[in-house]
Chain A
Amino acid sequence: MTRKEFIYFILRNKKFVFSFCVLTFLAVLATFGPMLTPYDPLEFASFPYQPPNRDHWLGTNTFGQDLFTQLVYGLRSSLLVGLLGGGLATFIGLSIGFAAGYKGGWLDEFLMMLSNILMVLPTLALLIIIAAYLPYRGVAIQSVIIGFTAWPWTARAVRAQTMTLKTREFVDLARITGCNNLKIIWQEIMPNMMSYVFMVFILQFGGAILAATGLDFIGLGPTRGISLGIMMQQATLWSAIQLGMWWWAITPGAVITLIVASLYIMNTGLDEIFNPRLREL
């Protein structure tokens, strides 16, 4: 597929265009949103219990904090966790998958044993234990924890792809040209599964956001600052639904759903772009 064809199919795919627009909007909001608001996410801004109005676009909560400010900052940390955590999980998964699939033998057995163990362990329980032991938790630490536990499925899939690609003759030809293994993996094998790598990253991105939200919701989120998960947690803790404060209870969950749903829609869209059999004519 040449670049021109690729761009053509991308622009024609409604799923991709839609989800891309949504995600770009959210990313822009997370980056420049804090400039739109004079408040700090945790400061007392105005009277509590205000429904959405002109001064407070998404209302205020029980403590008089501005919810739009919280949402914008929370979006920032959620997208950051997705980028870092998802990126790390993809990177580890790719490295381990390539090493196991290309080298084979005892290294393969060992790495797959490792990934099997991690797959069998209940990840949420593991995350709780690790997170509970850390005195200070920030977005970066959270991303690292998520990244180090989310890679096994990626590693397995990459390994399988690598195993089929390495038997192709162009790999043998590169070997008898004297290329080293790293160059072969990087330049011969990986470009052939670039579409897959990209899609894995998108799924990991969404997965990391969901995992972070889960941790935040059970009270193991960042010790300082705000995130979408923490907003949800506080709304539940202070009975937002029972008090009829829908603007506090629903908004953070809706935004998370929007992010993850658009990521998954983007994934299906990309699947159609890369796989000609799924393309609608």
Chain B
Amino acid sequence: MSLIEVKNLTKEFPLGFLGRIKLKAVDNVSFELDESKLISVIGESGSGKTTIGKLILRLLKPTGGQIIFNGKDIKSFKPKDYYRNVQGIFQDPYSSFNPVYKIDRIFELVFDEFMPQLHRNQRQKEIEEILISVGMNPSQILGKYPHQLSGGQLQRILIARTLLLKPKVLIADEIISMLDASTRVDILGFLGELKQKGMSVIFITHDLSFGYYISDETIILYKGSIMEMGDTIKVFHNPMHPYTRMLLESVPSIEKKWDLEKFFVPEIVHKEISGCKFYERCSEATDECKRQVPQLVEIEENHRVACIKSDVSVRTEWKNFESSRKSDSVG
């Protein structure tokens, strides 16, 4: 049984006068998260990835569908029982700390809410141990205000806070996008460690390379719908959806030179489309795409694509890669 199961999740935001216009931020999304797995949710801004994170953290109420944790709907849990098991870290480390309090408060809150009986000395000891475990010097951190520390340090403190609770699931929402390149890998390393300790992580990002670097499974989101999902290696080495391919081609590489022709990005018009959501930007779209809503279809084991043209046979380069990978693992 999977740890978290997201079933037909939909979230609409009301817009306009008395909410007459609805914006579908998340549209019929389903996926599962197994124990000690790292799954990355990748999408551009406005694709609904943060909304999914907030829905799982119960910071927003879904319009439709449900989220199941440990076999029970998350609505049925008491807040504290749920948050003991499911935790989150957010994008902006500077805004995650209340500027009027010292750093220590972030730990004190956790103790007050989840372990109120713990004695003061014991608390202090645990805080220090945990800060050391994320590679920080407690005497340099404690008693300081958030603005006196760097983004990387703050993000590490948030990881330390999560370690204090030892949840089963961690929602990491763009946790590295505000950091410099040198601290990023560092933070990602901690995520990897958490996974090895048996924690499941939902890693929300817009950065394909970091997603590839760290995750077991990948979900590609576009305008609130899943375009392609499955095993990370399969999604990245055998991308079947035109959007995934476009994203992969847009990753800067040392071996490639800038080629403007490849990117076809028309002005995005927010209107209700009856067919495929990617129709307007797709270079391979036909008239049928305009009419038919593509369903997620399993094209190989643990690899699903929502494109009506995805039944095209698996590409030969992928077959070669796959067979070489198998022979590697056999050898």
Contacts and interface: CB of A to CB of B under 8 A. Distances in A.
Contact of B91 (A169, A178, A191): A169
A243 interface: no
A173 B114 CA distance: 14
A175 B59 contact: yes
Interface in B84-116: 86-88, 90-92, 95-101, 106, 109-110, 113-114
B110 A177 contact: yes
A117 interface: no
Nearest to A1: B100
Contacts, number: 48
Contacts of A174: 109
Nearest to A170: B98
Q: Which of B80, B95, B158 has the most CB of A within 10 A?
A: B95
Contact of A192 (B57, B88, B98): B98
A169 B100 contact: no
Contact of A191 (B59, B100, B158): B100
Contact of A169 (B79, B95, B101): B95
Interface size class of B (residues with CB under 8 A): 20 to 34
Interface in A137-193: 168-170, 172-179, 188, 191-192
Contact of B80 (A169, A178, A188, A191): A178
Contacts of A168: 95
Contacts of A179: 109, 113
Interface residues of A, number: 15
A169 B96 contact: yes
Contacts of B97: 170
Contacts of A177: 83, 109-110, 113-114
Interface in B215-264: none
B59 A172 contact: yes
Given A176-B59, A177-B109, A178-B113, A170 B83 contact: no
Interface of A: 168-170, 172-179, 188, 191-192, 194
24 contacts: A169-B92, A170-B95, A170-B96, A170-B97, A172-B90, A173-B90, A173-B96, A173-B106, A174-B109, A175-B59, A176-B83, A176-B87, A176-B88, A177-B109, A177-B114, A178-B79, A178-B80, A178-B114, A188-B98, A191-B98, A191-B100, A191-B101, A192-B98, A192-B100
